């Protein structure tokens, strides 16, 4: 295919979309579609580390996702429980620091505690910072940051840098490249402040079918654009 991965972006964000359509296409349950999506996330995380990409941020559960059926939400949380353990092993093996962005305090105690424990256990690693957006919405994040500023009561005015440090993403470099799978051409409230200058890459490929080759294609496309426009 002549992939040309001479350089890589430092910070990549991905909207993992299309598990449901993958399930339909393959005549399996939505639960199994999400499971295939979780398996693929492990593959792409490993490839991210191999490529020396420093930041990977993924949209796993949005504030909007609570509107899905109770059955689907329960299935998703069963998978999160299972895969957070698997990600823990992968993170330790690969020296990856795992972080959560979003309002995770709203989760059930067991999931919330697994998230905090995973962050604690992996915070010493710095090969790659893997951030999982969980109960995340960009507007919600901005409003929570503003409320924090009001509560502190110390500022009469604020600049962009100081505001960025109040966001959940304070430790994450703004994405250089944002990928959305599955054909939708929108951000759906993901990293709306942070993606002001981000290169966007949309593909029709469904998330569970987004292979390492597809990942390379996205990076190759990003590289061509940064060469053409000389970056920002
Ligand atoms: C969107 O597909 C995907 C989700 C709502 C869940 C994505 C989460 C994962 C793949 C796993 C994350 C796992 C961990 C442990 C962080 P969709 O159901 O909207 O697909 P559709 O648009 O085709 O119906």
Q: What is the pLDDT of residue 230?
A: 58
Closest CA relative to residue 11, chosen from 59, 58, 60, 54: 54
Q: What is the pLDDT of residue 153?
A: 87
Q: Where are the domains of the chain?
A: 8-138+174-223
For the chain, give the percent of residues with pLDDT over 90: 89
Distance 60 CA to ligand 1 centre (A): 6
Distance 37 CA to ligand 1 centre (A): 6
* Best of 14, 20, 96 for a ligand 1 pocket test (most atoms within 8 Å of beta carbon): 20
Catalytic, out of 26, 27, 39, 65: 65
Topology at the third CATH level for domain 8-138+174-223: Undecaprenyl pyrophosphate synthetase (3.40.1180)
Q: What is the pLDDT of residue 95?
A: 97
Q: What is the pLDDT of residue 2?
A: 55
Q: What is the pLDDT of residue 123?
A: 97
Which ligand 1 atom sits nearest the alpha carbon of residue 76? 6
Is 126 in the active site? no
Q: What is the pLDDT of residue 232?
A: 53
The first and second tokens of residue 73, run together, are 């939400």
Residue 228 has pLDDT above 70, yes or no: no
Catalytic, out of 4, 6, 17, 171: 17
CA 127 – CA 96 distance, rounded (Å): 6
Q: What is the pLDDT of residue 156?
A: 85
Q: Which residue has the higher pLDDT, 12 or 225?
A: 12
Q: What is the pLDDT of residue 1?
A: 52
Q: What is the pLDDT of residue 226?
A: 76
Would you tell me the crossing angle of helices 30-50 and 212-229 to the nearest 10 degrees? 50
List, chain by chain if needed, residues with CB within 6 Å of any ligand 1 atom. Answer: 16-21, 34, 37-38, 41, 60, 65, 80, 83-84, 87, 132, 182
Is 65 in the active site? yes
Cβ(77)–Cβ(34) below 8 Å? no
CA 227 – CA 232 distance, rounded (Å): 11
Give the model confidence (pLDDT) of 43-79 as tens digits. Answer: 999 999 999 999 999 999 999 999 999 999 999 999 9
The first and second tokens of residue 209, run together, are 């079918």
Compute the mean pLDDT over every residue in the chain, rounded to the nearest whole number: 94
Closest CA relative to residue 133, chosen from 73, 31, 62: 62
Distance 18 CA to ligand 1 centre (A): 7
Kindly report whether the global pTM for this prediction surpasses the value 0.85.
yes
Taking residues 83-91, what's their average pLDDT?
A: 96
Give the model confidence (pLDDT) of 112-169 as tens digits. Answer: 999 999 999 999 999 999 999 999 999 999 999 999 999 988 878 999 999 999 999 9
Q: What is the pLDDT of residue 229?
A: 61
CA 65 – CA 37 distance, rounded (Å): 16
State the sign of the Cα–Cα–Cα–Cα dihedral 185, 191, 193, 195.
Answer: negative
Distance 180 CA to ligand 1 centre (A): 12
Residue 110 has pLDDT above 80, yes or no: yes
Taking residues 22-48, what's their average pLDDT?
A: 98
């Amino acid at each position: 295919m002549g992939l040309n991965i001479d350089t890589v972006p430092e910070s990549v964000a991905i909207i993992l979309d299309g598990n449901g359509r993958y399930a339909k296409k393959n005549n399996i349950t939505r639960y199994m579609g999400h499971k295939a999506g979780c398996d693929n996330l492990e593959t792409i995380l490993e490839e991210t580390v191999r490529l020396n990409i420093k930041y990977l941020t993924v949209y796993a559960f949005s504030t909007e996702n609570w509107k899905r059926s109770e059955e689907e939400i329960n299935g998703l949380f069963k998978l999160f429980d299972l895969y957070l353990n698997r990600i823990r092993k992968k993170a330790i093996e690969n020296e990856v620091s795992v972080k959560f962005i979003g309002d995770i305090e709203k989760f059930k105690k067991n999931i919330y505690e697994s998230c905090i424990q995973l962050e604690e256990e992996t915070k010493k690693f710095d090969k790659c910072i893997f951030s999982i957006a969980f109960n995340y919405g960009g507007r919600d994040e901005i409003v929570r940051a503003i409320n924090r500023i009001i509560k502190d009561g110390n500022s009469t005015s604020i600049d962009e840098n100081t505001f960025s440090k109040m966001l959940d993403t304070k430790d994450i470099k703004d994405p250089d490249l944002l990928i959305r799978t599955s054909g939708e051409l929108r951000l759906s409230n993901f990293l709306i402040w942070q993606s002001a200058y981000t290169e966007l890459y949309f593909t029709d490929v469904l998330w569970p079918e987004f292979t390492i080759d597809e990942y390379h294609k996205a990076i190759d496309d990003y590289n061509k654009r940064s060469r053409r426009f000389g970056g920002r």
